[in-house]
């Protein structure tokens, strides 16, 4: 089985951060820490003008939290530690002074929807269905919630969070504002990603940094808020309901 990874490379001002996990690009704690680190580093590196966040493979952009790690959480401290990984990634993306383009080549579940929502500009393919599945495993989209709600509004976020087993298609996601663009195939998506990234790499870095401050105004309290949300998920994941639900999902997989 292929090994998971997070890797980053910079060419002509464009930093590509790519992640991969053999289980539909799900994210264990180690990879979340690596993602947060790479985003923070690119944000402070002068050679990086714009960031493209992407995953490997064709079918799934990101399946969210690693079920293998979720079932191993034994206490609230471990729960907080795991879900703080998503908090660190979202806050790193939020505070990064460079624009982040997300390349969404497949389905987004849970934390994957959170990544798409936190990116400054998400470009997807028509197959990129989305789902916030957290309630189905006994928790809720607490950590990614503020990012998703900020992007698509309270009504759409509530619908996603409540009907946790229903997929919404990419056109729904575009209508609600999660995706800025939706393309019929990967080639067209890649062309659009490269076009925008190249344009931004030649734009004024100071102007873009100031724009990003404006876009994210009002989220300064998220460092504390998302930690509080991580603690809620970390507590709920210990319930017998969650343990049984996750095992059921793993059996189906």
Domain 5-188 adopts which CATH fold? Answer: 2-enoyl-CoA Hydratase; Chain A, domain 1 (3.90.226)
Partnered with residue 18 across adjacent β-strands are 7, 54
List pLDDT tens digits, range 99-136. Answer: 999 999 999 999 999 999 999 999 999 999 999 999 99
Average the pLDDT over 2-30 and give the result.
Answer: 96
Q: pLDDT confidence of 71, banded at 50, 70, 90?
A: confident
Strand 5-11 versus strand 60-62 pairing type = unpaired
Q: What are phi and psi of 176, to 5 degrees?
A: -85, -10
List pLDDT tens digits, range 34-68. Answer: 999 999 999 999 999 999 999 999 999 999 999 88
> Half-sphere exposure (CA, 13 Å, Cβ side) for 181?
19
- Tokens linked to 119: 């990116």
List pLDDT tens digits, range 146-159. Answer: 999 999 999 999 99
8 Å CB contact between 105 and 58: yes
């Amino acid at each position: 089985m292929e090994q998971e990874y997070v890797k980053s490379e910079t060419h002509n001002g464009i930093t590509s951060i790519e992640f991969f996990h053999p289980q539909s690009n799900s994210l264990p704690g180690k990879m979340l820490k690596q993602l947060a680190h790479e985003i923070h580093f690119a944000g402070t590196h002068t050679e990086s003008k714009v960031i493209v966040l992407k995953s490997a493979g064709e079918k799934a952009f990101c399946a969210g939290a690693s079920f293998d790690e979720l079932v191993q959480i034994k206490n609230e401290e471990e729960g907080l530690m795991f879900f703080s990984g998503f908090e660190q990634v979202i806050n790193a993306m939020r505070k990064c002074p460079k624009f982040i383009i997300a390349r969404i080549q497949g389905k987004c579940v849970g934390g994957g929807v959170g990544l798409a929502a936190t990116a400054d500009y998400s470009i997807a393919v028509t197959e990129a269905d989305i789902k916030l599945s957290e309630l189905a495993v006994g928790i809720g989209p607490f950590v990614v919630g503020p990012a998703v709600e900020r992007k698509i509004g309270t009504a759409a976020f509530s619908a996603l969070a409540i009907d946790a087993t229903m997929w919404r298609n990419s056109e729904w996601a575009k209508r609600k504002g999660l995706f800025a663009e939706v393309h019929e195939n990967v080639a067209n998506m890649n062309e659009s990603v490269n076009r925008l990234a190249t344009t931004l790499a030649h734009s004024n870095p100071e102007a873009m940094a100031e724009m990003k401050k404006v876009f994210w105004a009002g989220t300064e309290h998220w460092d504390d808020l998302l930690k509080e949300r991580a603690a809620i998920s970390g507590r709920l994941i210990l319930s017998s309901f969650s343990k049984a639900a996750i095992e059921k999902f793993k059996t189906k997989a």
